Amino acid sequence: GRTLSQGMSGEDVRQLQIRVSGYPGYQSVLALDGVFGPATKAAVTRFQQAYGLAADGIAGPQTFNKIYALQDNDCTPIHFSYAELNRCNSTWSGGAVSASTAKFNARVVMWKLEALRHALGDVPIYVSSGFRSYACNNAAGGSSTSRHLYGDAADLTGSPSLCTLARQARYHGFREILGPGYPGHSDHTHVANKSSWTWSASSCGI
């Protein structure tokens, strides 16, 4: 219920950060720490620019109205769903983190994908794999250290080329991008969040 600007802090700031986490800038990740610092202001500004709003880096009624228009009742963005990010099991359990953490991580991924989708002209992006339990990951032949086990990864297909997805994802807060040219990734582009940077899609010049 309050306008949010640089210097403020709180849970409402953290919720804002989640929703603009797809606008951190090239090779950057926005911290979800509930502190409205310069990086959050820059992300809000990019979000506002992307949707033709007054770009002042202050989250007021216009910015929130746009966020609400992009948001479903469960706080996921309108073009992605929990079901799409989890075809493994409905409980989000059995992975490398608690079920609640895996589900939260997936929600953050969805907001980043919403930003990626919009940047590509609002063309559909499909998620062929999201959260996996250890059992699902083993069945899929996934790595034992796969970010899918944490709920913060998505394998993408859709009308943009896989290389277009891989290149554009560099601007939307994904530290791990694997695409065509990387072993086992000829038919999808993988995006994820982790502590270090790994970008590899040699067929795409990445």
**How many Å apart are CA 164 and CA 125, to the nearest integer?**
11
Q: Of the listed 118, 148, 172, 185, which one is catalytic?
A: 185
Provide, for the chain, the percentages of residues in helix, strand and coil under a 3-state DSSP scheme, each rounded to the nearest 5: 35, 15, 50
Tell me the CA distances in angstroms from 65 to 2, 19, 71, one per residue in order: 13, 12, 10
**How many Å apart are CA 81 and CA 127, to the nearest integer?**
10
Question: For strand 176-178 and strand 198-200, is the pairing parallel, antiparallel, or unpaired?
Answer: parallel
CB of 162 closer than 8 Å to CB of 189:
yes
DSSP 71: B
118 tagged catalytic:
no
Question: Which residues, 6+ apart, have CB-to-CB distance to 49 below 8 Å?
Answer: 55
Helix (H, G, I), strand (E, B) or coil at 83: helix
DSSP 158: E
Residues annotated as part of the active site: 185
